[in-house]
């Protein structure tokens, strides 16, 4: 998982450029761009504005707002020259993505107030593909970008959207209110979804996208630089659960998996997360593991406390549960330090009867 998006930005811009250059002699000002209120000319200029804005965020790295600048095209700029601007701003975003360190995040409002280089690349690609579609629709031209590019976007900033097998472009159009899919209601409102990052003292808990989860499950790094001996087998197993949830359309990032990254050196040391969404009784189960070389330093306790505080501050969860092997004394100490206590024997018995809790496990809970 070596491409963090620079190549994808260039691929998207090339797809856009090929269509727009062929249509440069058309009337862009007098034609509405698909379902948008803008005309085709305004939409093309907007593509360039988005690309340079995302490059600016990665370069300036603000944490609370957009860098206050924009681009204005010279008077008399023709359609073909607008395409020149799109290609130029696309090259700038691709360069910013390639040169921005992995741990850098900058402000973006949706939905967790920041994005990393891969997120900005994915948003840039989405803007290019979707608005090229809008222009093509307005001009009556056929347009379909490479399927792999659409899938790349979906698995990074649409983790909550169930992919339609074999139809990533149709899925992306549906997810952005531009198309229909069999058996799904049309969307009138939508947002993409950058990964959630939860801060702790020595760690950051970085949300794992479906793309990163698929790479981890397949034996890759998920885009993280791991401490020697990582990732642990449990991390790869949990990544498989994320992929399965995504494919079923039930993955929600805030109830997903997080990789634990050390602030001091940017190395990933383990993973933590939930076994799914809260149930009808507002209960959610947590799980975690560390690479062997990272154990005994309090990382698991720190991460668990941070995750619990984030989750229990919500209205849709009241109790967090953890199932720990009765012989795993270190993990029991972690749970205790994070504020969990052993549930009653009756509660544990019900968990065995109704939820399939294994006999070798003990159940612990922390309430809001």
Distance CA 237, CA 275 (A): 11
* CA end-to-end span of the chain: 38
| Radius of gyration over every alpha carbon of the chain, rounded to an integer in angstroms | 23
| 245-282 pLDDT, tens digit each | 999 999 999 999 999 999 999 999 999 999 999 999 99
Query: In this structure, what token pair is assigned to residue 133?
Result: 């579609």
- Mark whether 171 and 203 lie in a shared domain: no
| Position 232 in a domain | yes
- Mark whether 21 and 79 lie in a shared domain: yes
| 332-358 pLDDT, tens digit each | 999 999 999 999 999 999 999 988 999
Query: In this structure, what token pair is assigned to residue 3?
Result: 């491409």
Domain span at residue 311 reads 197-367
Q: Note the pTM of the prediction, 2 decimals.
A: 0.95
| 284-321 pLDDT, tens digit each | 999 999 999 999 999 999 999 999 999 999 999 999 99
Distance CA 16, CA 86 (A): 9
Domain boundary among 106, 140, 175: 175
- Mark whether 29 and 124 lie in a shared domain: yes
Q: Could you tell me if residue 246 is left (phi over 0), alpha (psi between -120 and 50 degrees) or otherwise beta?
A: alpha
- Answer for the pair 321, 284: CB distance below 8 angstroms, yes or no: yes
| Confidence tier at 193 by pLDDT (50, 70, 90) | very high
Residue 197, CA atoms < 13 Å, CB-side half-sphere: 20
Q: What residue ranges in 109-182 does DSSP mark as E strands?
A: 115-116
| Position 186 in a domain | no
- Mark whether 215 and 165 lie in a shared domain: no
């Amino acid at each position: 998982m070596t491409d963090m998006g620079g190549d994808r930005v260039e691929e998207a811009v090339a797809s856009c450029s090929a269509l727009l250059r062929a249509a440069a002699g058309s009337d862009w000002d007098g034609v509405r761009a698909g379902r948008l209120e803008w005309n085709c000319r305004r939409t093309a200029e907007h593509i360039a504005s988005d690309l340079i804005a995302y490059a600016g965020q990665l370069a300036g790295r603000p944490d609370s707002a957009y860098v206050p600048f924009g681009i204005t095209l010279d008077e008399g700029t023709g359609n073909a020259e607008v395409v020149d601007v799109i290609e130029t701003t696309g090259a700038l975003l691709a360069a910013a993505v390639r040169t921005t360190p992995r741990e850098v995040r900058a402000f973006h409002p949706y939905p967790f107030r920041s994005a990393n280089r891969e997120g900005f690349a994915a948003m840039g690609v989405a803007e290019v593909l979707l608005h090229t579609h809008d222009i093509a629709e307005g001009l009556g031209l056929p347009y379909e970008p490479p399927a792999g590019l659409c899938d790349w976007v979906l698995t990074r900033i649409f983790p909550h959207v169930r992919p339609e097998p074999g139809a990533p472009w149709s899925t992306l159009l549906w997810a952005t209110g531009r198309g229909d899919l069999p058996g799904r209601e049309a969307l009138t409102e939508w947002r993409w979804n950058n990964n959630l990052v939860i801060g702790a003292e020595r760690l950051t808990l970085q949300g794992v996208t479906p793309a990163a989860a698929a790479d981890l499950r397949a034996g890759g790094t998920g885009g993280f630089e791991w401490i020697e001996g990582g990732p642990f087998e449990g991390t790869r197993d949990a990544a498989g659960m994320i992929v399965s949830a995504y494919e079923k359309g039930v993955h929600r990032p805030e109830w997903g998996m997080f990789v634990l990254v050390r602030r001091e050196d940017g190395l990933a040391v383990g993973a933590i997360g939930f076994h799914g969404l809260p149930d009808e009784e507002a209960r959610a189960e947590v799980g975690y593991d560390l690479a062997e070389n990272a154990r005994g330093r309090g990382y698991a306790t720190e991460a668990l406390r941070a995750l619990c505080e984030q989750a229990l501050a919500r209205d849709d969860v009241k109790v967090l549960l953890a199932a720990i092997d009765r012989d795993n004394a270190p993990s029991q100490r972690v749970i205790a330090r994070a504020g969990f206590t052993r549930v009653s024997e009756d509660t544990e018995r019900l968990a065995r009867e109704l939820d399939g809790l294994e006999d070798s496990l003990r159940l612990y809970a922390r309430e809001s």
